[in-house]
Structure 1
């Protein structure tokens, strides 16, 4: 849903007030008065916060690092990743006082001109999929974070990787659709995003969209509500490359299945490339129309399996290199032997070892790794549920489960909510969309919580202590049940 600039939305107004309050103490007073105070809200949607300033001079004063800080503050407040865009708009002065004193400019009824003054692209969000790299079109993940170069190849994924590389180098010419299946946390999403990255590198003129099935459904429902299904269908059917993640969530959704079937037929006839990921083979998807199941199987179906010990060690070394620290071989072997269920669990274990080392300035040794791994519970060894994680988080924090999944923005509560989301991602095999349903949020909120938790675990001792207390409470609960 979009919160328009003239709808009086409390969420939008509160967000901009919070943004200014945070920046007031971070920038010099003169800079605040000249660049931050004049900012006025335009609109807020799932991906972008649009702000306005009264002149081109005000806009040019905004430094890129200030914009990045604004995006970080807004994303943290909303608990999802958003981009901040600033445009020039005519304003009239109001006598209303701003929260911090002074007057604020109220927007005229006309929208700003974005033809030449927008700090970022002025392309309509509905068309962004055809204009920007896939990693930026969905979920806010960094462009270039997922590439074929940093995908670790082993016996468990070699065929899927080779098929993805070959198809991305000649999109639409072979393996369409390319259907990649496997359990959660094994790298399917990495392959899809890497596919999109490679297409954008080799064929910059081709339109390419990465989208989760949840996002596809959300956009389809919005199109129905606004009587714009034909326009939605046209946008999807004009793509050169369509990458759909977690297609298993289409089960039982007959309207979306009908729409997707016709879209796939059109793309196939036009020679476009389609890549799909799923947690099972096409035959394993429940409540799926047979004609769609046949279409999924028409190209090439490949799987990814849990990594073997050699691949797990290679993954750990690759991640350590990306984070920027040296991983001793004995510690690498220890983690690889202890954590064997999926890549996500491997990365979670390594990040916790690094966080402990970084926070307390300790060398990464076998003893330190043993201490960290002792508190870890592999999802493959015992069945851990999100409900259990929420219950133990509530017990440790003093909040109730209802409060943890509420819309409250109390700082301590928000941090415990993020910890519960992070542990749920690390200790269960649920997808982001599934986790979102447990917390009454969408998958982008969960993704943002995981990302910020990773950063805070390595930087803040108080956050790390809270995390460890919840993790150990879960461990104790499981031991008592044995």
Structure 2
């Protein structure tokens, strides 16, 4: 039903023969139907800032939706078109498509503003001066498509600070406001899901907000490596170097993937030097500090350490409570304090798993039409007072236990080193991860240095066989397994 009390089909018919006022009413009615569908069928997708979106035109089967800024527009266009189109088609009963535009929409063209070739389109945060394709019959390197998509969720306003991340947060804010002159480079390191990517994206968003035309580049280290190799193969190194050496802000996530890649390290070394000489800002993230990245050239280690090196650590209870509340507000969820505290107590690893818990509980609440309260939270996450229910073990807990027991570092486990002192704890990690977590063989192998599932299978078989043959080894591994299953502090089990 539309806002006037008519079925949607009737409203659409009236739209064809009436003017402005009816059009406004129909748009509002359609929008309510679309948003209702999204909340019911795509609960985890919806955000509080969706309320700021405005439908501005419906013409020739194209629904144009206006966003508040370029970051929202690019995020929605890249990640949410399918869900919005599905909702629009159900609301109208027609083959409607959806597009998002930034700022003042132009209904006559239904196209967002496009930057000239010598400028940067902020909605894609890329260098537009380089062609996205090269029409010479060769394989084309799409410089633009491979950049990471900025999420409106990852702003400084949404970042929860605590003693575990205060330095990294303050440094990131300073860098965003004073590119090239404060903490250059900025190197942020820490475990999985602790906020490194959030800070990197917050820097990008702050810079784009104040300087929409500034050339910036935000990508994963894996993309940098792949584009470098493709450029060599296709004879396009001049384009590669122009692409990366004219930016004012270069942000690379997971720079530790440069490990063991000598040619890529050489190229990045020269890119780093040229940007630094021009006072262009460089921001990097890694799972370990520069000195612990295996087989990273000393001259790169030295340069990475020449600016600010800041760590992010596991959040304490108070910080976890604040994270849960912040994530709930972002999803427009009202949570009682006891449910918030329960989630923060139950999930003690990182922000990503806290958000995953919220998504899971929210999904149960929507599907079963229940209130998001402590009772439902206990049902979904499990009750620690129930002795028959084993608490789910996280991959980080497995890693913490093994690295402490064998006195090795995570970077060692993820490296290509084959020495027995590294290979054995890596195999034990894989064995415990498969036994105590829900990760697949492929996911486990990917985390430990990009190894395939057959390597994980071999590791499991090796540990199983050694448990049978070596009594002392069996005791050590079984004690680790017992500590994890009981979710107790992982004291050295040797």
> If the TM-score is normalised by the length of the shorter chain, which range does it land in?
0.5 to 0.7
Summarize the alignment of residues 92-131 of structure 1 with structure 2, pairs less than 5 Å apart: 119=111
Summarize the alignment of residues 243-258 of structure 1 with structure 2, pairs less than 5 Å apart: 243-258=251-266
Give the C-alpha shift of residue 388 in structure 1. 3.9
Which whole-Å deviations, capped at 9, do the CAs of 1:120-170 have from their partners, x for residues lacking one?
676799997877337x96566454221000011111111100000011101
* Distance of aligned partners of 1:309 and 1:430 in 2 relative to their CA distance in 1, 3 Å threshold: farther
The answer to whether 1:168 aligns with 2:168 is: no
The answer to whether 1:310 aligns with 2:318 is: yes
Give the C-alpha shift of residue 215 in structure 1. 1.0
The answer to whether 1:298 aligns with 2:313 is: no
The answer to whether 1:72 aligns with 2:87 is: no
Give the C-alpha shift of residue 337 in structure 1. 1.1
Equivalent-residue separation in structure 1 for 2:448 and 2:153 (angstroms): 18
Partner of 1:237: 245
Equivalent-residue separation in structure 2 for 1:302 and 1:391 (angstroms): 30
- Contact 2:187–2:304 at 8 Å: present in 1 too? yes
Equivalent-residue separation in structure 2 for 1:188 and 1:154 (angstroms): 14
- Contact 2:155–2:199 at 8 Å: present in 1 too? yes
Out of 173, 177, 180, the position equivalent to 2:185 is 177
Equivalent-residue separation in structure 2 for 1:193 and 1:326 (angstroms): 27
Partner of 1:442: none
The answer to whether 1:62 aligns with 2:62 is: yes
- Contact 1:339–1:378 at 8 Å: present in 2 too? no
Equivalent-residue separation in structure 2 for 1:325 and 1:199 (angstroms): 30
Partner of 1:202: 210
Equivalent-residue separation in structure 2 for 1:85 and 1:255 (angstroms): 42
Partner of 2:277: 269
* Distance of aligned partners of 1:207 and 1:393 in 2 relative to their CA distance in 1, 3 Å threshold: closer
* Distance of aligned partners of 1:121 and 1:258 in 2 relative to their CA distance in 1, 3 Å threshold: farther
The answer to whether 1:348 aligns with 2:356 is: yes
The answer to whether 1:132 aligns with 2:136 is: no
Equivalent-residue separation in structure 2 for 1:117 and 1:369 (angstroms): 48
Give the C-alpha shift of residue 200 in structure 1. 0.7
Give the C-alpha shift of residue 269 in structure 1. 0.5
Partner of 1:465: none
Give the C-alpha shift of residue 342 in structure 1. 1.1
Secondary structure in 2 matching 1:244: strand
Partner of 2:337: 329
Equivalent-residue separation in structure 2 for 1:434 and 1:125 (angstroms): 38
Q: Gaps (5+ residues) in structure 1?
A: 1-26, 29-58, 77-82, 87-115, 395-400, 406-423, 440-477
Which whole-Å deviations, capped at 9, do the CAs of 1:24-51 have from their partners, x for residues lacking one?
xxx99xxxxxxxxxxxxxxxxxxxxxxx
- Contact 2:445–2:453 at 8 Å: present in 1 too? no
- Structure 1-normalised TM-score? 0.57
Equivalent-residue separation in structure 1 for 2:239 and 2:85 (angstroms): 30
Equivalent-residue separation in structure 2 for 1:241 and 1:70 (angstroms): 27
Task: Count the aligned residue pairs.
Answer: 320
Which is worse superposed, 375-384 or 174-183? 375-384
Partner of 1:446: none
The answer to whether 1:362 aligns with 2:370 is: yes
Summarize the alignment of residues 367-382 of structure 1 with structure 2, pairs less than 5 Å apart: 367-374=375-382, 377-379=392-394, 380-382=396-398
Partner of 2:152: 144
- Contact 1:133–1:143 at 8 Å: present in 2 too? no
Equivalent-residue separation in structure 1 for 2:374 and 2:175 (angstroms): 42
Secondary structure in 1 matching 2:212: coil
Secondary structure in 2 matching 1:149: helix
Equivalent-residue separation in structure 2 for 1:286 and 1:159 (angstroms): 25
Secondary structure in 1 matching 2:156: coil
* Distance of aligned partners of 1:392 and 1:250 in 2 relative to their CA distance in 1, 3 Å threshold: closer
Which whole-Å deviations, capped at 9, do the CAs of 1:245-274 have from their partners, x for residues lacking one?
000111011111111100000000001000
- Contact 1:341–1:378 at 8 Å: present in 2 too? no
* Distance of aligned partners of 1:332 and 1:312 in 2 relative to their CA distance in 1, 3 Å threshold: same
* Distance of aligned partners of 1:121 and 1:211 in 2 relative to their CA distance in 1, 3 Å threshold: farther
Partner of 2:479: none
- Contact 1:153–1:161 at 8 Å: present in 2 too? yes
Give the C-alpha shift of residue 393 in structure 1. 9.2
